[in-house]
């Protein structure tokens, strides 16, 4: 961006930055049919003043704040609701004008962020009705614990058996909770848009909770069993994506070896789902699923405890019982959760504690166990038809996952 260093061009940058920020404020007020303290021209002039103040080696920041304060008071005499977004934006614009003289690229980048933040208001207003105060409190608590506690956690094993690394465990909790929270929020916002979309979102939030909820619905009303089965199958196909994401993050070598089996299994799952959907022209809309907020303190601690037990269990089992012990732990862990065992095995294979092939089979076995456990749930709490469609789906997934990986190994 060397051409921006020309002084005659450079002076236009703060004007443009101020004008764009001011235009955003003007349009925002236009949509709300209200007036505000400053518009595009005022913002452009304030940015220019900031730029010129660097030449004169003076600062009028306090004077600007004083003027803005008076303007704010006069502008809000007849208003019940008083926000200060425009006033704070004016101060930020003045500082951006100064920044142009220091680092143009960074000033432009920061200006883009400011406009982005200003535009968030309408989006947040749209979605705030979906997010309860309890959810917000959980997010704030989780962030506080993460950014206050995480830096002081020891990034080393704290036991003589070299089993538990608190820093690593909490990193895993953050990643897993974050992905689950994404699904949780999407369910809040989009969960009532249709049963199939609810199933897809359920794959991110919790495929087990999705399977249980829709199986129960099929028991109450057997006529919707094909709909519930499709939603369950969608959630469990997306669950495969979760497993694949963890291998990609923690062991790229394992990811490369599992990409074809997981891709084939996912494609087969979607083909079967498409086959079921072809016979369903009607849409069923009762799709509300109640997930627990994964960022609640107890839920986060529970993730940490599960991770700790599985990490320790894998290493102890491998130390005393070898590869067979690792596979047994994988089988047991898969009954309740496939994420923790996938991350554990991927990490242990990366640091050579486990053979890569054993780690891969452990991941596959835990995936199979998790699917079978959910199939058992659906048998006891769902309709027979719902169970049948889910059973066929599971048979396809398990055979293709295990079979394709074994075939690829034999080819090599």
Q: What pLDDT does 3 receive? A: 44
Helix, coil or strand: residue 31: helix
**Torsion angle in degrees (nearest 10) through CA of 203, 209, 212, 214:** -50
More confident residue, 320 or 178: 320
Structure tokens, 367: 């995936």
Q: What pLDDT does 65 receive? A: 75
Helix, coil or strand: residue 59: coil
DSSP state of 253: H
More confident residue, 385 or 28: 385
pLDDT band at 83 (very low <50, low <70, confident <90, very high): low
d(CA 391, CA 371): 9
Q: What pLDDT does 235 receive? A: 93
Percent pLDDT > 70 in the chain is: 82
Q: What pLDDT does 324 receive? A: 93
d(CA 340, CA 176): 9
State which H helix or E strand residue 104 sits in. helix 104-127
d(CA 282, CA 183): 26
Output the CA angle 82-87-91, nearest 5 degrees. 160
Using left for φ > 0, alpha for ψ between -120 and 50, and beta otherwise, residue 162 falls in: left
Least confident of 114-118, 260-264, 349-353: 114-118
Residue 128 has pLDDT above 70, yes or no: no
Q: Give tens-digit pLDDT for 372-396.
A: 999 999 999 999 999 999 999 999 9
Q: What pLDDT does 72 receive? A: 66
Size of the chain, expressed as the number of residues it contains? 412
b/e for 87-118, b at 16 or more Cβ within 10 A? Answer: bebbbbbbbbbbbbbeebeebbebbeebbeeb
Mean pLDDT of the chain: 82
Spatial contact of 19 and 48, defined as CB atoms under 8 Å apart: no
d(CA 409, CA 212): 35
- CA distances (Å), origin 259, targets 45, 262, 351, 399: 56, 5, 21, 16
Task: Indicate the pTM of the whole model.
Answer: 0.69
């Amino acid at each position: 961006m060397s051409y921006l260093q020309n002084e005659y061009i450079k002076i236009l940058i703060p004007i443009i930055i101020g004008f764009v920020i001011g235009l955003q404020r003007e349009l925002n007020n236009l949509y709300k049919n209200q007036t505000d303290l400053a518009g595009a021209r005022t913002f452009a002039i304030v940015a220019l003043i900031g730029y010129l103040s660097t030449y004169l080696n003076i600062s009028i920041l306090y004077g600007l704040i004083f003027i803005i304060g008076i303007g704010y008071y006069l502008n809000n005499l007849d208003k019940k609701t008083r926000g200060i977004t425009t006033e704070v934006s004016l101060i930020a614009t003045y500082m951006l004008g100064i920044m142009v003289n220091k680092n143009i690229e960074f000033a432009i980048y920061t200006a883009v962020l400011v406009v982005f933040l200003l535009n968030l208001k309408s989006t947040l207003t749209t979605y705030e009705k979906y997010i309860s105060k309890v959810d917000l409190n959980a997010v704030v608590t989780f962030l506080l614990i993460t950014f206050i506690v995480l830096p002081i956690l020891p990034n080393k094993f704290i036991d003589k058996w070299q089993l538990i690394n608190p820093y690593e465990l909490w990193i895993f909790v953050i990643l897993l909770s974050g992905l689950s929270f994404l699904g949780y929020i999407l369910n809040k916002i989009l969960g009532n848009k249709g049963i199939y979309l609810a199933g897809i979102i359920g794959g991110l939030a919790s495929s087990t909770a999705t399977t249980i909820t829709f199986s129960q619905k099929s028991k109450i009303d057997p006529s919707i069993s094909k709909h519930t089965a499709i939603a369950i199958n969608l959630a469990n196909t997306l669950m495969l994506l979760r497993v694949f994401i963890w291998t990609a993050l923690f062991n790229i070598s394992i990811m490369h070896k599992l990409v074809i089996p997981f891709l084939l299994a996912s494609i087969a799952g979607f083909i079967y789902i498409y086959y079921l959907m072809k016979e369903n022209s009607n849409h069923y809309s009762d799709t509300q699923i109640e997930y627990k907020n994964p960022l609640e303190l107890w839920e986060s601690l529970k993730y940490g405890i599960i991770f700790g037990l599985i990490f320790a269990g894998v290493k102890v089992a491998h130390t005393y019982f070898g590869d067979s012990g690792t596979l047994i732990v994988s089988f047991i862990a898969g009954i309740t959760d496939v994420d923790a065992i996938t991350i554990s095995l991927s990490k242990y294979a990366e640091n050579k504690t486990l053979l890569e092939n054993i780690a891969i089979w452990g991941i596959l076995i835990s995936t199979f166990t998790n699917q079978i456990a959910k199939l058992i749930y659906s048998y006891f709490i769902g309709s027979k038809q719902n169970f049948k469609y889910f059973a066929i789906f599971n048979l396809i997934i398990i055979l293709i996952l295990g079979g394709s990986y074994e075939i690829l190994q034999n080819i090599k």
